[in-house]
Amino acid sequence: MELTTVWFVLIAFLWVGYFVLEGFDFGVGILLRVLGRDEPERRALVTTIGPVWDGNEVWLVVAAGATFAAFPEWYATLFSGFYLPLFAILVALILRGVALEYRGKRDDLPWRSRMDTLIAVGSLLPAVLWGITFANLVRGVPLDSSYEYVGSLGDLFSPFALLGGLTFTAVFVAHGAIFLALRTTDDLRERANRRAATTGVVAAILAGLFLAWTQQLRGDRWSLIVAGLAVLALLGGVAANRARREGWAFAGTALAIALAVTSLFVAMFPAVMPSTLDPSSTLTTAAAASTPYTLKILTVIAAIFTPLVMLYQGWTYWVFRKRVTVEPVAVS
């Protein structure tokens, strides 16, 4: 296997890890003011992701860094053509991170309410925009012969791209609701379970439509098989949630996200950014890759540090695996 293919697979793996882990983070944030009826409940919801949310974002940083190092032309074209959506994602993630860190710094309900709003908005906006971004990577964008984006901002918001945004958001909400059902207790757990049941059905319908449309645009036999398995895994997760098997339900939605993202990358390979103007202007992995020597050095570094990062993050999840209870506010 050529190193360009190896690094494409590795970058796909990093994006899979990011969306599986950050996906439930986004879902919890979007549901924060929906499921949390008062301050103790919202504090419990934030606590479920408090120890892990920043570690989940490491996958995004590494994915972006790996793309820059292994496929600089892809990185440059992506960040120039999608500058405004990606900048909006960055701002939203910063505000969300600040809100999560500073929410408990003041014992003031209006302050915490404002932070909760920032968490919700900072979770919803990236979910929608990531769906739009990846939909455009599959569909293609206007590129000239120099691989420069020559379209307008409006070109990024086609019906297919908007469906991608809705699908990513719905799947993340269902994933987050099941995560909350797995991590909380009593009435909050019951409401999270019911919310997961309704959002899961919507997510499955949207995912089926989006992946079917993806196959029509760029799919092949393998991407079709993976996409079909993704929909089945999502339906299995919804069924397990209805049976009150939250562990299996979370595994189902996590597997569904992993398979769905994998199917998108399978459909993309080797044309990482197709041109809608001229097929000869399509950016491929070969045209976007760094030199073979650079890829060899990167491969050695990745082989050493990737397992270490995965082991550390797995240990973090094991340490903070217990359910979170709703504790009443102390009255002085």
Q: Looking at residue 332, what is its pLDDT?
A: 38
Q: Looking at residue 51, what is its pLDDT?
A: 87
Looking at residue 137, which CATH number applies to its domain? 1.20.1630.10
On the question of pLDDT at 82 being above 60, the answer is: yes
Tokens of 85: 């959506």
Q: Looking at residue 331, what is its pLDDT?
A: 40
On the question of pLDDT at 261 being above 70, the answer is: yes
What are residue 134's phi and psi, to 5 degrees?
Answer: -70, -30
Are 92 and 54 a contacting pair, CB within 8 Å?
A: no
Q: What is the pLDDT of residues 282-332, one digit of tens each?
A: 999 999 999 999 999 999 998 988 888 889 888 888 888 888 888 765 443
d(CA 188, CA 81): 42
Q: Express as a percent the part of the chain with pLDDT over 90.
A: 76
Note whether residue 330 is domain-resident. no
Q: 184-188, 219-223, 266-270: which has the minimum mean pLDDT?
A: 219-223
Q: Looking at residue 71, what is its pLDDT?
A: 96
Host domain of residue 164: 3-319
Q: How far is CA 229 from the centre of its chain?
A: 18
Note whether residue 329 is domain-resident. no
d(CA 324, CA 43): 10
Q: How far is CA 310 from the centre of its chain?
A: 17
Are 236 and 207 a contacting pair, CB within 8 Å?
A: no
Note whether residue 237 is domain-resident. yes
Stretch 194-213: mean pLDDT: 94
Q: Return the number of other C-beta atoms located less than 10 Å from residue 299's C-beta.
A: 15
Tokens of 69: 């190092």
Tokens of 208: 């089926």
On the question of pLDDT at 246 being above 70, the answer is: yes
Note whether residue 326 is domain-resident. no
Q: What is the pLDDT of residues 100-112, one digit of tens each?
A: 999 988 888 999 9
d(CA 256, CA 262): 10
100-105's contacts with Cβ under 8 Å and 24+ in sequence apart are 100/46, 100/49, 100/50, 100/53, 103/46, 104/43
Note whether residue 327 is domain-resident. no
Note whether residue 324 is domain-resident. no
Residue 204 pLDDT class (50, 70, 90 cuts):
very high
Strands (E), the chain: 271-273, 283-284
Stretch 174-201: mean pLDDT: 93
Residue 1 pLDDT class (50, 70, 90 cuts):
low
Note whether residue 332 is domain-resident. no
Q: Express as a percent the part of the chain with pLDDT over 70.
A: 98
Q: Looking at residue 126, what is its pLDDT?
A: 97
Note whether residue 325 is domain-resident. no
Work out how many domains the chain is built from and give that number.
Answer: 1
Tell me the pTM. Answer: 0.93
On the 0-12 / 13-18 / 19+ scale of CB atoms within 10 A, 3 is middle
Q: Which of 17-21, 36-40, 47-51, 305-309 has the highest mean pLDDT?
A: 17-21
Instruction: State how far the alpha carbon of 159 is from the alpha carbons of 123, 139, 173, 215, 269, in Å.
Output: 22, 11, 21, 15, 23
